[in-house]
Amino acid sequence: MKRNVLSSICIIAMITVGCVTVQQFDGSYSYKVGKIMVHTLIDAEREGNTGILVGADADILERLIPETGFSHSTNVFLVKTPTQNILIDTGFGNTIEKMQQFGVAPEQIDAVLITHLHGDHIGGLQKDGAAIFPNAKIYISEKELEFFTQTQVNQGAVTALAPYTTADNVVAFNPAELGSTLNEILPGIKPIANYGHTPGHTAFLVEDGRNKLIIAGDFLHIALVQFAYPEISATYDMDRDAAAVSRRQILEYAAANKIPIGGMHIVNPGIGNVEKDGDGFKFVPVN
């Protein structure tokens, strides 16, 4: 059910799915992963557009897309561990008030993990040249950082990072491939190489003991189609073939290991379980 993001009315419901407890608020959703709280904050919502899909024929769209259309969202994840306040992406910068509903002010953010350097994921890093999160370290995969700031310079990315680069607060890391050993970059957070959408696109495993959640960034853009048909990419994917391979790989991993998955463009609640469904997958939202 679509909710009014701008409403200040708090709608609460408690749902338990496996190890993840979900608490719904209007415009935000909260999940307990062991001792870690993960809050999905809706940064923006608009009407979805199937024109961004590459290789989705009319039959697929007719079967999977409602005649009434569908919503597209941009999400930000606030992760509260026992020791740190962490953001995964910043969206366009529209979630500060939602973040503060959970008792976290911008200056209380310790780290911002970036899935990739597209504008709808880093637009909230700075305003008028000043850091919005002045006490935060910004974590970006080395491949992503090098590509967008050196190989194919993107001025939007350079501007977004500038106040943190000046303060020496940008940290580059190398995510590991699924199937290899995943190493923590912060307590309870392990980066996963999920290349294709961009050269250094990264997903993050949030983990406390046996409790796990994957936050997978732009591994897909239209859930109604791309769970069922992972081979279908989007015009935004810089390497569409690699993106399709990475998408199937992370879905196989989530389904086989029964790990819930969340994405920056999965509409509310933004997270759910992945099940095998023929040659594709089925997404079961937590609510």
Residue 95 belongs to a domain with what CATH number?
Answer: 3.60.15.10
Segments forming the whole domain that contains residue 212: 14-285
pTM of the model: 0.91
Calculate mean pLDDT across residues 280-285: 96
Is residue 7 in a domain?
no
Is residue 155 in a domain?
yes
Is residue 4 in a domain?
no
CB 96 within 8 A of CB 61: no
Is residue 212 in a domain?
yes
Name the residue among 232, 236, 284 with its Cα closest to residue 260: 284
Q: Which range has the worst mean pLDDT, 47-51, 82-86, 169-173, 283-287?
A: 283-287
CB 275 within 8 A of CB 282: yes
- Give pLDDT tens digits for 234-261: 999 999 999 999 999 999 999 999 999 9
Pairing verdict, β 85-88 and 111-113: parallel
Is residue 6 in a domain?
no
Calculate mean pLDDT across residues 34-43: 96
pLDDT of residue 19: 38
Helices first, then strands: H and E counts in the chain: 7, 19
The four Cα atoms 183, 274, 265, 122 give a dihedral, to 10 degrees, of 0
Overall domain count for the chain: 1
Rounded Cα gap, residues 30 and 14, in angstroms = 10
Is residue 189 in a domain?
yes
3 state SS of 3? coil
Q: Give me 129's structure tokens.
A: 């040249």
Is residue 8 in a domain?
no
Is residue 175 in a domain?
yes
pLDDT of residue 233: 98
Rounded Cα gap, residues 65 and 76, in angstroms = 25
Rounded Cα gap, residues 191 and 199, in angstroms = 15
Rounded Cα gap, residues 144 and 105, in angstroms = 28
Q: Give me 78's structure tokens.
A: 């606030």
